[in-house]
């Protein structure tokens, strides 16, 4: 390959992509936060159920 030949450049362009409005970004953040809180609640509830089934109870 000579020095005059150039490999094609693979560049990601975002010129044609419109920026999302702030309320959509905030909405997605709220949905992801609520989903993570819900998943944590589900996990802790199942864990508490397993502990109660094993005989561990809070007095």
What would the pLDDT profile of 12-29 be if each residue is shown by its tens digit?
666 677 888 999 999 999
pLDDT of 48? 94
The predicted pLDDT at position 17 comes to 73
Nearest by Cα to 32 from 24, 22, 43, 20: 24
| Residue of 33, 59, 53, 31 whose CA lies nearest to 45 | 53
DSSP element (H, E) containing 8: none
* pLDDT for position 49: 95
Q: List the single range of 9-23, 30-44, 45-59 with lowest mean pLDDT.
A: 9-23
């Amino acid at each position: 390959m000579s020095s005059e030949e150039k490999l094609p450049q693979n560049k990601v362009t975002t010129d044609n992509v419109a920026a999302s409005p702030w309320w959509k970004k905030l909405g997605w953040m709220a949905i992801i936060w609520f989903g993570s809180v819900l998943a944590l609640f589900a996990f802790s509830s199942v864990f508490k159920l397993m502990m109660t089934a094993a005989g561990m109870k809070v007095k």
